[in-house]
Amino acid sequence: MSYADPQTVTVGGTAISLPRISSGQNSGAFGSADNTTLLSVSHQYGRRNRRSIRLSSAKISADPLTPSQNVRNSMSATLIIDTPVNGFSVAEAKSVADALVAYLTASTGARVSQLLGGEN
């Protein structure tokens, strides 16, 4: 089963439509029309199952060394869920992932701000 086409993400209060741009065995990607936002999903199977979802964003900004020139900058945020082949049900793994997401977003995202600020 695959993700619906298109997907939508909201960045900074703005909803961005992401139509499917690729589909492969155990992977798929969705991208914005201006190619600045990309959502990718992948799965790796072996001794452990590794599932990841990544949101990437790019923008053009002034080069700090040469202000008259612009450069493309990008960043990404990734959630990886790594489970043994046996021992955890989907529901159990989901509860751990849900706990991490809730922890990061509690208090209006204070934990994400701490993470981005380099706290440990």
- Confidence at residue 46, expressed as pLDDT on a 0 to 100 scale: 95
Distance in angstroms (rounded) separating the CA atoms of residues 1 and 34: 27
Overall size of the chain counted in residues:
120
Range 1-86 classified under CATH 3.30.70.270 = no
Domain ranges within the chain, ordered by starting residue:
1-86, 88-120
- Cβ(56)–Cβ(37) under 8 Å? yes
- Judge residue 97's burial from the number of C-beta atoms within 10 Å of its C-beta, 0-12 exposed, 13-18 middle, 19 or more buried: middle
Task: Give the residue-averaged pLDDT of 70-85.
Answer: 96
Q: What is the pLDDT of residues 59-68, one digit of tens each?
A: 999 888 887 8
Q: What is the pLDDT of residues 19-29, one digit of tens each?
A: 999 999 999 99
- The SS3 call for residue 83 is strand
Query: Token pair for residue 60?
Result: 């053009």
Distance in angstroms (rounded) separating the CA atoms of residues 72 and 58: 7
